[in-house]
Amino acid sequence: MSKIFLDHASTTPLDEKVLEVMMPYLKQEFGNPSSVHEYGREARAAIERAREKIAFTLNADLKEIVFTSGGTESVNTVHKGVAFASHGKARHFIISAIEHSCVLETAEWLTNQGYPVTVVGCQSDGWIDPKEVQKAIRPGETRMISIMAANNEVGTIQPIREIGKMAREQGILFHTDAVQAYGKIPLDVQKDYIDFLSVSGHKIYGPKGSGFFYHRRGVDMVPLIHGGGQEKDHRGGTENVAGIVGMAEAAWNLCNEVEERQRLRTITQLFWEELLKSLPDAKLNGPAKEERRLPGLINITLPGIEGETLVHSLDSKGFAASAGAACAAGSAPPSHVLVAMGRTAKEAKQGLRLSFGRSTAETQVKLLVNVLPNIVEQLKKMSSFFEDDEAQAPVK
């Protein structure tokens, strides 16, 4: 049975070109970038070339890019680093209810350490209203606002430029989790008024265990990992040279794929239109306008069927999909994103996330549309059977 991967929001396959540029640093170019001899100098030069390449994609200065092990470390470093560097009353943080778990759990940890956090809600399509963010600001007390650039479950693109400008005008720091958005929508740290931005390599056809954050020059923060003085004292530890080189290559390639982004929008819209013909009661979770969603990402509900059950059924047919964030896969709680969007707990467990990528062909999307109605029919029959069985069971 052939396998079709439709879960690119959870991870992406390593690009062959990326692997090719990584190989020398996994073999003959193995020097420690902190060493002063030729082996070390060659490794250091490779890192700095990668830093320059990534900085260019964001309109940043190369000195403002800090390499890490991924998005989660980047988020933790930024939030905790900013908190530990706070002075006086400015200890208050603002996040949204639909942030990734690494932001939500870091915020919970900060709350327990005495840093107050306000969580703002979203609209029914997952969009965060800047006016609600403004209402949450405590003049003289708010230290940082952290709003993701685009949601990882439903794909809603957020108004980060408006929020960033608002924060800058009031002397408040602004961080955006760009793990899902980077390379898929334009991001400019200058025009978007961004002070901090987090990215993960394995979401952009790069290697796992690689990531970075943008740190606007002149903004105070305390490093999370000490020792060695690497990354200009922002992150101690010997750099993952091969991972950094590979991530930079992946970033450069993805950020220049304008036609691919349009292709993904086209096949996503094709999927939705064709699905409604066979399953007219399907519901879209997220903005109706495709330009307000990430290209290639769509979250749907097929009423009466749990998303996790659908994922297992699709897997048995050779399709890899997701019921939500990969970090929450296999867990019982409903999607916190769908709950924040106003869905009931039951409805929030019925979401199915499909995320298309470079390898996704139009024929595969059409095949999925053909398979889904049969799966839905079978699952509804099973559900009806168990409900009837429970109704006929004797009362004890």
Adjacent-strand bridge partners of 117: 93
Cβ-based neighbour number of residue 63 at 10 Å: 12
Predicted confidence at residue 389, as pLDDT, reads 46
Domain boundary among 220, 255, 290: 255
d(CA 391, CA 376): 22
d(CA 219, CA 331): 38
Same domain membership, residue 172 and residue 271:
no
Same domain membership, residue 280 and residue 209:
no
Decide if 282 is inside a domain.
yes
DSSP summary character for residue 343: -
Decide if 72 is inside a domain.
yes
The average pLDDT across 176-187 equals: 98
Decide if 61 is inside a domain.
yes
Same domain membership, residue 247 and residue 311:
no
Predicted confidence at residue 2, as pLDDT, reads 82
Say which residue the tokens 């819209």 belong to.
269
Same domain membership, residue 282 and residue 243:
no
Predicted confidence at residue 380, as pLDDT, reads 86
Domain boundary among 199, 225, 255: 255
Same domain membership, residue 224 and residue 365:
no
Decide if 161 is inside a domain.
yes
pLDDT tens track for 304-320: 999 999 999 999 999 99
Same domain membership, residue 71 and residue 195:
yes
Instruction: Residue count of the chain, please give it.
Output: 396
Predicted confidence at residue 392, as pLDDT, reads 45
Predicted confidence at residue 396, as pLDDT, reads 43
Q: Are 198 and 211 in contact (CB under 8 A)?
A: yes
Q: What's the predicted TM-score (pTM) here?
A: 0.94
d(CA 206, CA 22): 10
Which residue stretches of 85-221 are H helix? 101-112, 130-136, 160-169
CATH at residue 181: 3.40.640.10
Decide if 86 is inside a domain.
yes
Overall domain count for the chain: 2
Same domain membership, residue 123 and residue 61:
yes
Q: Is the pLDDT of residue 207 over 80?
A: yes
Q: Is the pLDDT of residue 327 over 60?
A: no
**Domain enclosing residue 340, as ranges:** 4-10+258-385
Same domain membership, residue 357 and residue 269:
yes
Decide if 327 is inside a domain.
yes
Q: Is the pLDDT of residue 204 over 70?
A: yes
- pLDDT above 90 covers a percentage of the chain that reads 91
Q: Is the pLDDT of residue 385 over 90?
A: no
Q: Are 5 and 13 in contact (CB under 8 A)?
A: yes
Half-sphere exposure of 268 (CA within 13 A, CB side): 29
Decide if 28 is inside a domain.
yes
pLDDT level of residue 383 (50, 70, 90 thresholds): low
Q: Is the pLDDT of residue 280 over 50?
A: yes
Q: Which of 30-39, 92-101, 205-214, 387-396 has the lowest mean pLDDT?
A: 387-396
Same domain membership, residue 306 and residue 279:
yes
pLDDT level of residue 333 (50, 70, 90 thresholds): confident
Decide if 187 is inside a domain.
yes
Same domain membership, residue 151 and residue 86:
yes
Domain boundary among 255, 288, 304: 255
CATH at residue 262: 3.90.1150.10
The average pLDDT across 151-165 equals: 98
pLDDT level of residue 382 (50, 70, 90 thresholds): confident
The average pLDDT across 86-95 equals: 91
pLDDT tens track for 56-72: 999 999 999 999 999 99
Same domain membership, residue 262 and residue 188:
no
Same domain membership, residue 75 and residue 103:
yes
d(CA 174, CA 194): 6
pLDDT tens track for 257-272: 999 999 999 999 999 9
pLDDT tens track for 291-302: 999 999 999 999
Largest CA distance in the chain: 80
Mean pLDDT of the chain: 94
- Of the candidates 164, 260, 153, 162, which has an alpha carbon nearest to the alpha carbon of residue 205? 260
Active-site amino acid positions: 327
Q: Is the pLDDT of residue 326 over 60?
A: no
